[in-house]
Amino acid sequence: MMYEEQQQQQVMMRMVELNNNNKKGDERSGRRFIEDEERLNIVDLSGMSLDSLPKPSLNLTTICKLNLSNNNLQGIPESLTARLLNVVALDVHSNQLKFLPNSIGCLSKLKTLNVSGNLLQSLEELNANFNKLTKLPETIGFELINLKKLAVNSNKLIFLPRSITHLTSLRVLDARLNCLRALPEDLENLINLQILNVSQNFQYLQNLPYSIGLLISLLELDVSYNKITTLPDSMGCMKKLQKLSVEGNPLVLPPAEVFEQGLHAVKGYLSEKMNGGHKSPPKKKSWVGKLVKYGTFSGYTLRGTSNGEREGFFISEYRSIDGLASPRHIGMFSPRRLFSPGRYFTR
């Protein structure tokens, strides 16, 4: 008990010190008020071996950065996080947290959240919507190994961490209304993902990775209102896909007429394209090659010169043939004679 009381007293002293630094008193009435409502505090309660958080004496709305790292906290009260209206950075790494408060999703100014080094492996759903997060913890995929739903919509995320592809239990990923420039590679590792929503990243998201077509369990994909011009051919492999939303994109491939025929036609087009069904027409062979093939043209082929010159033919013996333009010789150059096996040009 004495240790706990001493612990609480240390916290209260630190909070009071912060309080006194940001308030001024009226000595005549003993009343205190905030000197500047726009002045925000940085509260550091890290490394104090806290098992729980005391009732704060400081107005929580004045906190912009709160560091609770390196303690023994097993939970964060909902009532505390709900009042952190101006918090920009929340650091709770290296505690004993087994869950996160739902009210984290109400912190509309939150930009940085560090939850690494906790006991969140059993966490199945994380809702961090409607914040101002610019990034997620790089280790999130290694920490939240049992996560089934990750909702981070309506933030300022530029990228999703690569470790997210290690969330093999993930079923729902909602990252719409952000500023995503790209999606991680190796998405095929998300073998249980059923719903993926990366819509409304507007001008930022311009390409989809090839691996998106290798999401074997995906049922719904929403990439609407981005800047995507081409869907990857691999999406032709998405046999379980039931719903695809692509409106609001400047799509070129597949063509609009394919989309008008429905999802089945889109998958069929991409599958055929992936298998080489939409090849450009073959180039016409040179008539000189035919002459050589049928023995009418005596020459040999030069391939792959060191100077990078194109393939060509060299005539072994050059001799002029007089009178080729005269009418009596025209029959000699009929297609039948030119492409027949015999040699008509002899001495």
Residue 293 near residue 301 (C-beta atoms within 8 A): no
Q: What mean pLDDT comes out for the span 130-152?
A: 90
**In this model, does residue 11 exceed pLDDT 70?**
no
Res 277: pLDDT: 58
Distance of CA 115 to CAs 92, 98, 126, 281, Å?
5, 10, 11, 56
Mean pLDDT, the chain, integer = 77
Structural fold of domain 39-119: 3.80.10
Q: Please tell me whether residue 91 adopts helix, strand or coil conformation.
A: strand
Looking at per-residue pLDDT, the higher value among 35 and 171 belongs to 171
The residue ranges of every structural domain in the chain are 39-119, 121-276
Q: Structure tokens of 6?
A: 């001493």
Stronger pLDDT, 22 or 185, i.e. the higher one: 185
The CATH number that domain 121-276 falls under is 3.80.10.10
Average pLDDT over residues 80-101: 89
Residue 88 phi, psi dihedral angles, 5° rounding: -105, -35
Q: Sheet containing 125-127: give its strands across.
A: 125-127, 149-151, 172-174, 195-197, 220-222, 243-245
Which of these ranges, 34-43, 101-110, 141-150, 245-254, has the smallest mean pLDDT?
A: 34-43
Rounded to an integer, the average pLDDT of 300-327 is 42
Q: Which residues pair with 313 in a beta bridge?
A: 301
Give the DSSP H/E element, type plus range, for residue 32: strand 31-34
pLDDT score of 50 more than 60? yes
- Report pLDDT digits (tens) over 247-297: 999 999 999 999 999 999 999 999 998 887 554 444 445 544 544 455 544
pLDDT for 196-232, tens place per residue? 999 999 999 999 999 999 999 999 999 999 999 999 9
Single out the residue of 220, 154, 160, 151 nearest to residue 184, CA to CA. 160
Q: Which residues of 172-203 are buried (b: 16+ CB within 10 A; e: fewer)?
A: bbbbbbbebeebbeebbbbeebbbbbbbbbee
Strands of the sheet with 41-44, listed across from one edge: 41-44, 63-67, 89-91, 112-114
CA 75-78-83 angle, to 5 degrees, is: 125
- At 82 the pLDDT is 86
pLDDT of residue 343: 46
pLDDT average, residue stretch 308-313: 42
Is the previous residue joined to 254 through a cis bond, with omega within 30 degrees of 0? yes
How, if at all, do strands 41-44 and 63-67 pair? parallel
What DSSP state is assigned to residue 179?
-
Q: 155-159, 257-261, 300-304, 333-337: lowest mean pLDDT where?
A: 300-304
Neighbours of 347 (CB within 10 A): 3
